[in-house]
A and B are shown apart, each in its own frame.
Chain A
Amino acid sequence: MSLSGSLLAGGFVFLVADIVYVLDHYFVHHDRERYARTHARHHRRYNGPKDAPHLDRGERATYNTAGAASCVGASVLTLYTGNPGFLVGALLKWAHSLLFHLYQHRWWGAVPVGNQGIARPRAWWGMASWRYHAFHHTQPNDGRFTYAESWAGFDRLLELAHPWLVRFTADHRRAAKERRHAAAPRRRAAPRLREPRS
């Protein structure tokens, strides 16, 4: 297997995993119930002053099980093609998630992130810096998306896709269901008027 083939395979797995992570981050922020049950804990922890080490048990479990699941899929591609790049790409992405977490949360200190004067990032297509991610912690629901784990360009693409993609979010489906329920009794309550017989 050529080196270029392995590099392509590794890059492919890395890119796909990154897209999946960004999409999941977008969807969890558009699902109030799942957010409250899972991701809110991470936001609460980091939005206060630093009182514990980075990467607690819950965060490690999130990254490690996601990394292991990616490796299972990528290792199958390696087994069936003989290209080790797939598995290497998944392993690198796993390591990247843990290391990039430390970089993206480097602002966590004695002063809470909300008091650090983090400005709204410009809509750029470069790397998602720690300032970029700090803004996510202060304004997670801002119209300028900051869900990216590494390349901010994914957020720009998400902003473009949002009017269509939002229809698939749990919050949107829940709201649509509530609207249907709210509209149904009114339809039943409205009596059908008949013309009086002359």
Chain B
Amino acid sequence: MNWLAWDARAFLGALVGTAVGAAVYAAFLPAHEAPWIVGLSLGLGTAAAARDKSTVRGIVLGATALWASALAQVTWMPQGGGRTWLAEVGDFHASLTMERVALHAFGCLLAGLVAARSLRAGARRRLAGT
């Protein structure tokens, strides 16, 4: 049984989607802070590559989108103070405001909803644990 519910194609699509999303997120900075773009792009990349639909994959990648958007924020908009990138990741929670949490959560929701789908016509639904 596979509880991650993804295969190599969907995984590659998620990676490409995340990279594109992070680049678009960076391009909009500093005028617009929109970490949800990373989640949306991750979801679209996955849905474009996936052969099947999967709710479990949507849940797992929704959570992964929270990591991706957090890493994008830490990379392109660090808190500063001469800290290393890893220290920035460790202190990411200190940079959060209610608005930022809502923006990251919105990205999680978009990623989860889109990554659970497949753009392929007639794609079958993959059941949990298979």
Query: Chain A residues in contact with chain B, CB under 8 A?
Result: 24, 28, 34, 37-39, 58, 61-62, 65-66, 68-69, 72-73, 75-76, 79-82
Contact = CB atoms under 8 A, between A and B. Distances in A.
Main secondary structure of the interface of A (DSSP, over half): helix
B129 A69 contact: no
Interface residues of B, number: 25
Contacts of A34: 127, 129-130
Contact of A65 (B4, B59, B91): B4
A69 B4 contact: yes
Contact of B3 (A28, A39, A69, A79): A69
A130 to B, nearest CB: 22
25 contacts: A28-B129, A38-B129, A58-B1, A61-B1, A62-B2, A65-B1, A66-B1, A68-B3, A69-B56, A69-B59, A69-B60, A72-B64, A72-B67, A73-B60, A76-B66, A76-B67, A79-B67, A79-B70, A79-B89, A79-B93, A80-B66, A80-B70, A82-B92, A82-B93, A82-B94
Interface in B81-101: 89-94, 96, 101
B3 A80 contact: no
Contacts, number: 60
Contacts of B130: 34, 37-38
B122 to A, nearest CB: 21
B63 interface: yes
